[in-house]
Structure 1
Amino acid sequence: MITTRYRKFAIPLCIVVGLALQSCKSEGKKMDENNSETAVLTHQGFLLKKGEVSSTFRIPGELIANQQVDLYAKVSSFVDKLLVDVGSEVKQGQLLVTLEAPEISSQLAGAESRLKSFEAVYLASKAHYDRLVKTSKTPGTISQNDLDMAFANEQSDMAKWESAKAAFREIADTKNYLEIRAPFSGVITSRNVSPGAYVGPSGRGSEMPLFTLLEQKKLRLVVNVPELYAASLNKSDSVEFTVRSFPGKIFSAEVSRLAGALDDRLRSERVEMDVDNTEGELLPKMVADVTIPVNTNGSSFAVPQSAILNSTLGMFVIKVENDSSVWVPVSVGRSGGNITEVFGELTDGDVLLKSVSEEIRDKAPIKVEITE
């Protein structure tokens, strides 16, 4: 039984406890209201669909001569006359240098003498055989054996004459090597000999070529395209490039040749473009900055970059299913502008969030507003 002494304290205490309980209920009500407000936050979303991604990427390339050759002496000889020098523009077939080899002239004279000797022997054998054939028409004058022997001698002498002609042509052709002519039109870019120098085949008298000849009116632009973009280029596709010598000037070229295989070391495909250089502005060995267009075929899903969540767990897009968020693992492909290819367990018409962050947890309640 509560005494009068404590009754006066009990009533205020009950009032305090009651107020506290009422305050707790109010706080709980406010928290429930806040949670309810958080759950109904609306995010912008879009319907997933396939689309093309168009972009470009820049890659270094090199300009090389369409044709280039180092010219050596075919036979051991001495330089007689140099008719061109560094920077000379030459035409196909133009004489560049004459060489001197006296022993070849002597060999040619000897071969010519042997040729004439065998020719005379053959003509005599042929005349003898022809006379026997004519005489043999009178029965009993020439035996068949004598006729056969004469014919065999004629054929033998003719073979020796043909052999002498071949030997003469061989030495004559060798003498022709004493004149070196341009195999194609171009520019002489190096000269390594002077008149009187001893020259010969590479490794036997000439460690360096006599001349280096390059074709400059037409150049090749060579680039090594990475595996990711190897399928983006086809023959006749146009590309643009710049060089440091002409800042701000854009050159163009068409794809002419594709290697059709990846390089073992760089895992890239060699691609060549023909470049018209009629004006002679560009030079072989220039480094070019090449811009290559990249266009997908529209068979993959394309999403805004803001829709891709790059977290410590991997890359995801957030799909909305039954008013809940679902983190879907994806891998990305090529990008163009603000659009990126994604690959994963996705289907046409899935609803994805347009802007994502790690604050949107997996399996969390969510509401979405579809926008274009």
Structure 2
Amino acid sequence: MKPVSKFAFTILSFATSAVILQSCGSTSAKEESAKKEPVAAPVLEAVSLQQGQLSSSIQIPGELVAFQRVDLYAKVSSFVKKLYADVGSEVAAGQLLVTMEAPEVNSQLSGAESRLKSQEAVYLSSKATYDRLLETSKTPGTVSQNDLDLAFAKQKSDLAQLDAARASFREVKDTRNYLEIRAPFSGVISRRNVSAGAYVGPAGKGSDMPIFTLQEQKKLRLVVSVPEAYTGYLNSNSEVDFVVKSLPSQRFKAKVARLAGALDERLRAQSIEMDVINTDKKLLPGMVAEVSFPLKGDSTRTFVVPSKAVLNSTLGVYVIKVIDNKTVWVPVKTGRKADNKTEVFGELSSNDTIIKTASEEIRDGAEAKNVKLVTAK
């Protein structure tokens, strides 16, 4: 191997030094350039806080019940003589449904009638006696005042006895009228529990089951238990839609008619009722309905922000407000959510600047110089 000449070695050393110097110079130039160009602050998109109202709804099961429903019992202990209706019979108010017989009641009525006629005769006699004495007493010295007073008292006593006999007769007669049961309102017989010849009486006496169950069908009640969280969105003018399983393609409407005004202690819900007109009888008492409730809050007191503007951190729930070019975490409570928007409640005011996409990387009290207002969507 040939030894390297001094001239070649000198040229190689010079070239190596030049490369090293060039590399150092390039690195220094990049560092100086980086120092001269400051890093731009990230752009924070923000929205102007406005009051609003979300249009949302909840689905709650409800039950359709008859607007009027009654169990018909016998007033007196008796035997069923004849039934004039059966299950499914449509009856009108006042229509005769069943007749019963109780021989002892007829005997009591006959006795009361006899006592009434007897007392009427006694009263007419005492009244005639008093009238004659009164007429005779007009001649001085014929009738003493004591005899006249006794005759008047006897007349009053017999009149009181007559009134008592009349009351007793009416009582027995009314009792006999209870042997006929008539429909208190128009509806349909949904249950029959006895047959002709059965012994019936008041509840617990003779029969624990009613003779008939009558339900109104042309008008129904839709009963729903609304959870406590949603009771503030309801009022007496709220309209709802509902469907039933037997008619899934048809939607029915109803308006809230009655609110219980208190929560059920077990369910923590308020019972509300809606009147449903059912003249076509498509709906039946006992059906389960799926009810859609529109939830409308007070737009004058509710703030609505994009759902991403709500920060759920380990410390709580916040929105990030920009005040004097600084970010401030404001604790809030959330309400309903719909269409990527959320109701928030806290120390907020209209036109406050709120960071559109909240993140824990945006620290509380950090500088926010590069803020861009955008439209909330």
Does the alignment reach a TM-score above 0.5? yes
Equivalent residue number for residue 95 of structure 2: 94
Equivalent residue number for residue 179 of structure 2: 178
Q: Is the 8 A contact 1:86 1:189 kept in 2?
A: yes
Distance 2:23 2:340 in 1: 57
Distance 1:24 1:199 in 2: 112
- Residue 192 and residue 25 in structure 1: after superposition, are their counterparts in 2 closer, same or farther (change >3 A)? farther
- Residue 21 and residue 268 in structure 1: after superposition, are their counterparts in 2 closer, same or farther (change >3 A)? farther
- Residue 31 and residue 282 in structure 1: after superposition, are their counterparts in 2 closer, same or farther (change >3 A)? farther
Deviates more, 1:123-132 or 1:19-28: 19-28
Equivalent residue number for residue 71 of structure 1: 72
Q: What is the TM-score when the length of structure 2 is the normalising length?
A: 0.88
Equivalent residue number for residue 311 of structure 1: 313
Equivalent residue number for residue 369 of structure 1: 372
Mapped pair 1:331 → 2:372:
no
Aligned amino acid, residue 238 of structure 2: D
Q: What is the TM-score when the length of structure 1 is the normalising length?
A: 0.89
Equivalent residue number for residue 349 of structure 1: 351
- Residue 167 and residue 30 in structure 1: after superposition, are their counterparts in 2 closer, same or farther (change >3 A)? same
* Secondary structure of the structure 1 residue equivalent to 2:248: coil
1:151-166 alignment runs, 5 A limit: 151-166=152-167
Distance 2:25 2:353 in 1: 45
Q: Is the 8 A contact 1:188 1:212 kept in 2?
A: yes
* Secondary structure of the structure 2 residue equivalent to 1:166: helix
Equivalent residue number for residue 320 of structure 1: 322
Aligned amino acid, residue 370 of structure 1: L
Mapped pair 1:301 → 2:303:
yes
* Secondary structure of the structure 2 residue equivalent to 1:249: strand
Aligned amino acid, residue 44 of structure 1: E
Equivalent residue number for residue 291 of structure 1: 292
- Residue 118 and residue 32 in structure 1: after superposition, are their counterparts in 2 closer, same or farther (change >3 A)? farther
1:144-186, Cα deviation, whole Å (9 max, x unpaired): 1111111111111111111111111110010000001111111
Equivalent residue number for residue 146 of structure 2: 145
Equivalent residue number for residue 36 of structure 1: 39
Distance 1:322 1:232 in 2: 37
* Secondary structure of the structure 2 residue equivalent to 1:230: helix
Q: CA deviation at 1:23?
A: 4.0
Distance 1:336 1:134 in 2: 97
- Residue 134 and residue 314 in structure 1: after superposition, are their counterparts in 2 closer, same or farther (change >3 A)? same
Gaps of 5+ in 2: 1-12
CA RMSD of aligned residues (A): 2.6
- Residue 28 and residue 133 in structure 1: after superposition, are their counterparts in 2 closer, same or farther (change >3 A)? farther
Aligned amino acid, residue 90 of structure 1: V
- Residue 319 and residue 240 in structure 1: after superposition, are their counterparts in 2 closer, same or farther (change >3 A)? same
Deviates more, 1:134-143 or 1:52-61: 52-61
* Secondary structure of the structure 2 residue equivalent to 1:213: strand
* Secondary structure of the structure 1 residue equivalent to 2:39: helix
Aligned amino acid, residue 351 of structure 2: G
1:53-74, Cα deviation, whole Å (9 max, x unpaired): 2222221111111000000000
Question: How many residues are paired up?
Answer: 361
Distance 1:21 1:192 in 2: 109
- Residue 210 and residue 21 in structure 1: after superposition, are their counterparts in 2 closer, same or farther (change >3 A)? farther
1:289-343, Cα deviation, whole Å (9 max, x unpaired): 1111111222121111121122333222222234443332221012332322112
Deviates more, 1:193-202 or 1:120-129: 120-129
Deviates more, 1:186-195 or 1:356-365: 356-365
Distance 1:197 1:175 in 2: 18
Equivalent residue number for residue 111 of structure 1: 112
1:113-262 alignment runs, 5 A limit: 113-262=114-263
Distance 1:28 1:96 in 2: 107
- Residue 58 and residue 24 in structure 1: after superposition, are their counterparts in 2 closer, same or farther (change >3 A)? farther
Q: Is the 8 A contact 1:56 1:336 kept in 2?
A: no
1:205-233, Cα deviation, whole Å (9 max, x unpaired): 11100010000100011112222221222
Aligned amino acid, residue 343 of structure 1: F
Gaps of 5+ in 1: 1-8
Distance 1:354 1:336 in 2: 16
Aligned amino acid, residue 70 of structure 2: V
Q: CA deviation at 1:360?
A: 3.4
* Secondary structure of the structure 2 residue equivalent to 1:288: strand
Distance 2:323 2:21 in 1: 46
Query: Percent of counterpart pairs with the same letter?
Result: 58
Q: Is the 8 A contact 1:187 1:214 kept in 2?
A: yes
Aligned amino acid, residue 235 of structure 1: S
Equivalent residue number for residue 340 of structure 1: 342
Aligned amino acid, residue 318 of structure 2: F
Aligned amino acid, residue 306 of structure 2: P
Distance 1:285 1:182 in 2: 21
- Residue 23 and residue 180 in structure 1: after superposition, are their counterparts in 2 closer, same or farther (change >3 A)? same
- Residue 329 and residue 28 in structure 1: after superposition, are their counterparts in 2 closer, same or farther (change >3 A)? farther
Equivalent residue number for residue 4 of structure 1: none
Deviates more, 1:162-171 or 1:21-30: 21-30
Distance 1:114 1:25 in 2: 134
Distance 1:29 1:104 in 2: 119
